[in-house]
Amino acid sequence: MKFAIFGTARTPIGSFGGAFRDVRPQFLFKDSIKASYERSGLKDYSHIYDCVGGNAVQPSDCANITRVSILLAGFPNEIPAFTVMANDVSSLVAAVNAMQAMITGEGDLYLVGGTESASTAPYIVRGARWGFRFNHGIVNDMMAELRVDANEKKWYCEIVGNVLKNKYGISREEMDRFAALSHKKAFRAVREQKFKDQIVPVTVKKKAAGKEVVPEIVSEDEGINPVMSPKKAAKANPLYEGLDLTEVNTYRLADGAASFFIAKEEKAKELGLEPEGYILAYALSGTHLDDPVAALFESMRKAMEKAGVKADEIEVFELDETFAGTTLAAMKEFGIPEDKVNLWGGTLATGHPVGATGAIMTVKLVHIMKTLDKKLGMVALTSMGGQAVSLVISKE
């Protein structure tokens, strides 16, 4: 069974504390969902069976953020929704959940996607509910806590940095060069307006002296550095002593959302829709917590086996770019040439809106395949906790 993709949309990706500093994640998701419906070709909402969205830092005042977001986008109350939290792969797991449901006969058309706002993530005070008596409380940063592996009790970046250096032998020079290339490719894509058909502009309210002023229209990814080079990247200080990860060759927190519809192929034909691509296979994997990169390899292998294709048959890849070394390790493992990977830049350039990144990568891949007339592609992403998800996507 293959699944049609249509109505792809994403917001611009805002830098941490940048353009979307005060924009809550449900409103980012609302904008992409609304655009997905408008682009989908659907005549009404009645064919949407369910909605599944990913989100990592789930807001306490916006429980089940996917449900809140679809209602903000104008969906009728009768359409249900649920939210997935699987760290970095949340939005890809959302898509997998929808496909699994359709395989079992539970509906035949779903909205999927993800959203994240690192900028509005709160600080929390554990223990305050029952009081501290004559003592101090500790204010905890939710975004910092998200970057600590709960099983290993270590910073996730430190875990990955160790395995990249000591197991896979990825050098600092390789990572810096690849990170600079990501910015270069993303900047070129912006200049050539490659993202124009993907992005739905977001209106950001502005105030001056306590009064609302002309709002800002954000229509481009914010974090891309057009002058980044291997030489500049080499000047960045390591995040951990003895390791090669830096703020340039490692992901940066960000804000953004993406969404699209998935339907059984027969349902898309019945409704006269024009799919932008098809998901041929998906695969989830889990490996030892000390080597999340191995999970990426395993999910890619499983997805290719299920689709009946080999790595050299896949024409374009959107590979995990949360760490430059992860991408490079996958390229070496499967013999993937650089000219097939992340052609319009990746997470290193734009930033990493954790719960939305997988959906953003999928939207981007579908548009790359359409623009460059590529018939077969793959999305592959790892997650903290030693997990990964991969999708094999075809144009037809």
In order along the chain (396 residues), what is the average pLDDT of each group of 10 residues?
A: 97 97 97 98 97 95 96 98 97 98 98 97 91 88 82 82 94 98 98 97 85 89 97 96 95 97 97 97 91 95 98 97 96 98 98 97 98 98 94 96
pLDDT at 359: 98
Q: Which domains does the chain have, with CATH numbers?
A: 3-121+151-394 (3.40.47.10)
pLDDT at 147: 80
Say if residues 203 and 217 touch (Cβ distance below 8 Å): yes
Q: pTM (2 decimals)? A: 0.96
pLDDT at 294: 96
* Cβ neighbours of residue 216 closer than 8 Å, sequence gap 6 or more: 19, 203, 204, 206
Residues 33, 6, 251, 147, CA torsion sign: positive
Residues 370, 372, 377, 378, CA torsion sign: negative
* Cβ neighbours of residue 209 closer than 8 Å, sequence gap 6 or more: none
pLDDT at 7: 98
pLDDT at 152: 66
Whole-angstrom Cα distance, residue 194 to residue 158? 34
